[in-house]
Amino acid sequence: MAGRLDLPEPDAFTRTYWDAAAEGRLLIRRCGACGRAHHYPREFCPHCWSEDVTWETASGRATLYTWSVVHRNDLPPFSDRVPYVAAVVELAEGPRMMTEIVEGGDRVGGNPELSAGADLEVTFREGIPVFRVTPTPSA
Ligand SMILES: [Zn+2]
């Protein structure tokens, strides 16, 4: 694992999140005081500072908010992956998260079909949540 900058180092708090991700579930945090969800997980609500925050399994659905194709990154393992699509997606539950857009479990590499607002679904790579464009259902 030495030299890998993309893999998590869970602490006691985030272990729940990464354990769920390893099982293919995306967790978010929901505030009992103001009702808003957030991501990345924090021990208190970033909106109202309440500590009345619990884990919730997200639907895994999101829309593409913004993205950029990364052509150069000298840090391992990213140096072997360029180009890749770094993105901010808006989860169906509301929170935005930084992630990567992949296709069929692999990187997209500048897929021209990406457009703002595109429907995405979560998938997992080495226990890390990433997103892919939701296949268009055949009518
Ligand atoms: Zn709150």
Provide the 3-class DSSP secondary structure of residue 109. Answer: coil
- Its sign, for the CA torsion 43, 46, 47, 48, is positive
| Cβ neighbours of 122 (radius 10 Å) | 21
- C-alpha 81/C-alpha 26 separation (Å) is 23
Distance 77 CA to ligand 1 centre (A): 36
Q: Where are the domains of the chain?
A: 15-57, 61-133
Q: What is the pLDDT of residues 2-19, one digit of tens each?
A: 566 677 777 888 999 999
CATH top class, domain 61-133: mainly beta
Distance 135 CA to ligand 1 centre (A): 34
Q: Nearest Cα to 25, choosing from 62, 53, 58?
A: 58
Distance 57 CA to ligand 1 centre (A): 17
26-51 residues labelled b (16+ CB within 10 A) or e (exposed): bbbbbbeeeebbbbebeeebeeeeee
Q: What is the pLDDT of residues 73-89, one digit of tens each?
A: 888 777 778 888 999 99
113 has a pLDDT exceeding 60: yes
